[in-house]
Amino acid sequence: MAGRRWVMVAALLGAAGVALGAFGAHGLRAFFEANPGRQSSYETAVLYHLVHSAALLGAGLLGMASPSRWAQAAGVLFTLGIVLFSGSLYALALTGTSLFGALAPVGGLSLIAAWLCTGLGAARIDRRQ
């Protein structure tokens, strides 16, 4: 059940990432022309948002194939990482408030930990066979 939940969260986050990317490319065009330095932060947020939504999908599928605490932890950490890393960069790009940028490293560490948990979850499958 937990793996299926992460697949559903990944689908929602992936859809949101596409919508935010389209909004940034079309709806914020004039804003970014007036604030060119902020566009790069927004694009980085979209990139990491989408890549890690796909990674969350993989962690969810891993959890469906072989439920483990590692797959569950990966789901939590990928979700937290997307929210903190990409969310802080979205906020930084739109507001220019550097305080939001301070959350990005915490989100980045969460994403790194999620990848490690995914690897440990996969390693557990090999040991069971």
SS (H, E, C) the chain: CHHHHHHHHHHHHHHHHHHHHHHHHHHCHHHHHHCHHHHHHHHHHHHHHHHHHHHHHHHHHHHHHCCCHHHHHHHHHHHHHHHHHHHHHHHHHHHCCHHHHCCHHHHHHHHHHHHHHHHHHHHHHHHHC
pTM, entire model: 0.93
128 pLDDT exceeds 60? no
The residue with greater pLDDT, 87 or 124, is 87
Tens-place pLDDT, residues 19-57? 999 999 999 999 999 998 899 999 999 999 999 999 999
pLDDT of residue 129: 41
pLDDT of residue 101: 87
pLDDT band at 1 (very low <50, low <70, confident <90, very high): low
